Structure formats: structure tokens, C-alpha cells
Amino acid sequence: MPYQTTVGSLTYRFADLKTLLAKASPARSGDALAGLAADSYEERMAAKIALADVPLQRFLDEALIPYEADEVTRLIIDSHDTAAFAPIRHLSVGDFRDWLLLDSTDSATLTAAARGITPEMAAAVSKLMRNQDLILVAKKCRVVTRFRNTIGLPGHLSVRLQPNHPTDDLRGIAASLLDGLLYGAGDAVVGINPASDSPATLMQLWRMMDELRQRFEIPLQSCVLTHVTSQIQAIEAGAPIDLVFQSIAGTQKTNESFGIDLALLREAHAAALSLGRGTLGDNVMYFETGQGSALSAGGHHGVDQQTCEARAYAVAREFRPLLTNTVVGFIGPEYLYDGKQIIRAGLEDHFCAKLLGVPMGCDVCYTNHAEADQDDMDNLLTLLGAAGITFIMGIPGADDIMLNYQSTSFHDALYLRSTLGLKRAPEFDAWLAKMAITEASGQLRPISRGHALLRAF
């Protein structure tokens, strides 16, 4: 059905709900590339006004991508919790924004409502919100997960230690890994992006990380970020796999371009659970997402990139992951042109995921041909820290020498923890103190050449 609003003497009409959502989106290069963006600030504001009046129920009645054509749509509709939705069912999108910002809408209320909120509802309300609104509401959302430690507790920030190497050299990876541990990083996961898909190489990486963990009794989990089919095969071959990783997206067609579907993810989830390697919990999946993936795969169906991204969180939520993160500026300026667009996208992604009950981190990053710099990343890092981000990346020097992009360093995590008073996962914090890496306060201690980790490496 069409939507319209009048501004002055002009009446703006929007053919359907997905057009309205696209026109209401903050400016970004990906939507312009797809021909979906508003033609002017006036049209964008008119779309926001019209969107504010749309009942939340409409998103259940009018699928953006047909139910019959897309398994992600079917997942969203079939898993919708009508009881959780009941307290907000009467609201419009504008009313929903006001409700989210109320002091009385606390963490418990948001947790109870999460399964009643669809990705499209979350994306819609985010389009009416200022950056501070996204931060305030996300800060109230609590999503706690466990495997060998506890992630997502209020007042805590975890770090993925990312010791990549361009040739998967074990000594080079070990050096980066040691560097990260001595800076107190790694409580989210030690996650390696391998340069090779060789089963023998992948097995070496899994075994090296597991041997290190066992030798020093580190309460962490590891992951090799290769395709999910390789991980299933490795589990069958006896690999010591903690978390199963996969990049996911918000449409069936885009996921097919990644070589996956929901059935394959269910198989991987069951395989990881069968190993029983978690000591505190059974959140065994790790997912990555990013705005622009659906457009780059030709799988967006005319839906704006931020709404497509939010739909990916329905896929993540289905499998109760330990970790999910948006690799926010990685795809490039064709989708998020500059620092302003990257910052806005990072705040949107974090807000939408947390609102849906997904444990959300962010790879605060950009490619070298984007109109962005490290100051932009510092701004986003700080804003996300205020918003209660679950985890960030820890990369030596913030420069990934395998993937060739700019992210956040071990020092960036120290800055954020110090500035905002954030703690590490409690089990990991206790291990750091036991290993004489940190003081009781959590601050780093000077490390001598005789330290046990240096001797071992």
C-alpha cells in the first residue's frame, strides 16, 4: 500500500513499505548506488514523518521480501513471539521510539520484548533516532553469553584477539597472540582469519591455540574464521574447535552467495554443541555481518542496506551465538562513503542487534580508500563504548597485515576501558591477575623478560 505525507505545498508519496524505509534512511553511498536513497533532505524528512505513523503491526502484515521467496523472511515471521509483542503491538514507529527512550523501559522490559521485535521494526525505529538515542537505548539492552567465560555483563568490554598473518606462519601468529595476551586482550575470542583454506593449515591453527589454552589454563575460546563447511569437516576429523564461525546476511540470496543456508547453519550448530567444549555455557557460534553485503551480492530485493543488515540479526538470534559483530567499514566506500556514514552505521547496527537480543560487537574499521581516518574510528569506538558494546577487535598496531584494513589495537581497548571504567570478562580478568599480567585493579603490570608466557613462547 502507498504511504504519503505533505510538507508545505508538496505531497510525497512512497509506493510501499520498503520504499518508505529506504527513503527515510540517513544518507549513505550504498543506497545511492542502488537507486534507493532519498533525492533530497526534504524527501528524507517527509519519509521519516510518514514512517513515524506506521503501526508496528504493519511490519508483520507487509513483508519487505515475500515469505514464499525468502527463508530469512520465513524465519522472522515463523519465530515471532506474539506474547512478547503484545505490550507494544498498539504502537506506531514514532510511539515505539518514545517508548524505548522512557526511563521506565528498563533492561528487563527490553529483554522481555526482544523476541516480539522484528528486524524491520528495529530498523524502522532506528531511522527516526538521533545518534544519542541509539546510544541510550542500546546501553539499556543486556545480552549475556557464556562459553569458557562470561561476555556482555554491564560495565564490561571484551576484545577479540586477532593475530592474523599473511602466510599463516605459526611463529608470526604466536608473536601477535603473545602481544595481545600481555596487553590483556582475548577475552572475547582468539580469532584467526586464515590466508589459506588448506585443511592441514587450519588444523595446525586450531591445535596451536588449543595447546596454548590448555598449557596455561586460559579461560578463553578460539576460532578459525574459515567457511562453515570446512569447520564441520574439521569437527568430524577431530579438530579441537570451540566456536563455529560464519559470515551471514539478511536475505536468502545473499546467504546463498556465501555458500550457506539455514539448514547448513543448523548442522554446524549441532556439530559444535556435540563437542561439549564449553565449561560455563553452550553459546558456540560466532557470526559476522556488514552493511552492503546484500547489495554487493545482488540479493537486496530493493531493500535498503541497513534494513537488510538488521535482518541478518534474525539469523544470528536463531542460533544463540556467543558473539556477533558488524565489520562496519570493511566492505568499502561504495557502501559507507566516509567517517560520518561509518559512525552512523556502527551505532545503528549495535542498536538493532542489541534490541533483538543479539550479543553485538563491532569491528571499528575502514579501508584505505574510504574518506575516513583513525580519528573517525576513535569517535565511533568511544560512542560504542558509551553504548555498551559487547566487544571490539584487538589487532597489533590496528593494522591487519593479512586483510589489509585499519581496525582497533590493543591500546585502543586499554583507552576505552580506562576512560569509561570498563572491565574484562571476570574469569579472564582473574587469570590475568594470576599470571601477573595485571594488578588487582585490572591495570597492566610491567612485564619482565622472565615472565612465564615469554619463556614459553
Numbered residues of the known binding site for substrate: 160-162, 193, 288, 363
Q: Binding site: what residues are annotated?
A: 160-162, 193-194, 246, 288, 296, 363, 402
C-alpha 30/C-alpha 25 separation (Å) is 11
374-386 and 410-420 helices, crossing angle to 10°: 40
Q: Binding site for adenosylcob(III)alamin: what residues are annotated?
A: 194, 246, 296, 402
* Residues found in the chain: 457
C-alpha 304/C-alpha 296 separation (Å) is 12
Whether the CA torsion 339, 342, 348, 353 is positive or negative: it is negative
C-alpha 345/C-alpha 347 separation (Å) is 5
- Residue 126: closest CA among 306, 327, 390, 362: 306
Contacts 24+ apart (CB under 8 A), 442-447: 442/184, 442/417, 444/182, 444/183, 444/184, 444/414, 447/182
Give the end-to-end CA distance of the chain in Å, rounded to a whole number: 64
